[in-house]
Copies of this chain bind each other. A is one copy, B any other.
Amino acid sequence: MTSNRIPVTILGATGAVGQKLVVLLAGHPWFAVRRLCASDRNAGRPYQEAVHWIEPTPLPSEFGALVLDSADADVAGTIAFSALEADAAETIEPRFAAAGYWVVTNARPFRLAADVPLIIPEINADDVRLVDRQRAARGWRGAIVANPNCSAIILASALVPLERAFGIEGLVVTTMQAVSGAGYPGVPSLDALGNVIPHIPGEEDKIERETCKILGRAFPVSAHAHRVPVVDGHTLAVSVRLTGNPDPADVTAAFHAFEPPAAVAALPSAPERFLHVRAEPDRPQPRMDAAAGNGMTVSIGRVRACPVLDIRFVAVGHNTVRGAAGAAILNAELLVARDLVSRPT
């Protein structure tokens, strides 16, 4: 099984997103984790000793014994998944890209750069072509390909049928975000328990700008970000103004009609349903729906008219799978499917 898999590196392997990458890549049909990189402080230690494992899924034994490496770009490699913090990503990712790696990153720093593809394969797979411009401009042998912020991914996924069918003129989105999105140790329990925190530093700006970049067009987005006492799964309440003022039945039909490109739907991590439109009056809910499609499906419900803009609805997605580690893996699968990364023979 491993013989023809592509060896991959994980940068920032001990963090929350790094751990999720390890879990999701265990047994991946195309990728084989060969190298786990961590801060210099942890380099040289077996992964299982250095990591404070927070996944309910046990640490796969084949990775526990791997000795952590420092994030040295001189070691040859093909794909480097980056789960680095922003500061580290800003300096380390360019080194790996320069050295020839496909840096498939969940980190923030390069997402809005004009020459960096910010990809949700079901939406804008063709934006990977930006890497040609990126390489030319930056003189890199490799490239950086980013996935958006967790909330922006869920929002853009829910919006793409509306943008395609009608055109978006503006929207107000209120997020109720799970604590796993803040990593570990992340949100102190004294702040989270029985509480709502109406502020996540930088989040609203990310949602507003990244959503437009993914959908390929600027329109006004107003985001209100909140942390709520939920472990996994972001909930988004959206009011949107659409060209032509469609009614809820039109919009529901557009949600149902949306199909990602067949080549994307065939990727190993793509869910059976990209979007699941629910008819129940009280769904989606994070506890019930975040894990839909192995965490890769975005669930939508309560599509109804909005007295101020045009349409209101609710969307729920898994913030660390579709919103982070799973997003990065799907992006890497896209690179392979497009023959940008070649498979071992």
The residues of A with any CB-CB pair to B shorter than 8 Å are 16, 54, 56, 58, 170-172, 174, 176, 179-180, 184-199, 201, 208, 220-222, 224, 226, 228-231, 235, 237, 239, 241, 281-289, 291-292, 301-302, 306-309, 312, 314
Contact = CB atoms under 8 A, between A and B. Distances in A.
A306 to B, nearest CB: 5
Nearest to A200: B282
Contact of A176 (B176, B281, B282, B302): B176
A287 B194 contact: yes
A237 B200 CA distance: 14
A237 B224 CA distance: 7
Contact of A190 (B179, B198, B228, B283): B179
17 contacts: A58-B292, A170-B307, A174-B237, A176-B196, A187-B188, A188-B189, A189-B192, A190-B231, A194-B194, A196-B235, A196-B285, A198-B237, A198-B283, A198-B302, A221-B307, A222-B306, A231-B287
A54 B282 CA distance: 12
Contacts of A307: 170, 208, 220-222
Contacts of A220: 307-308
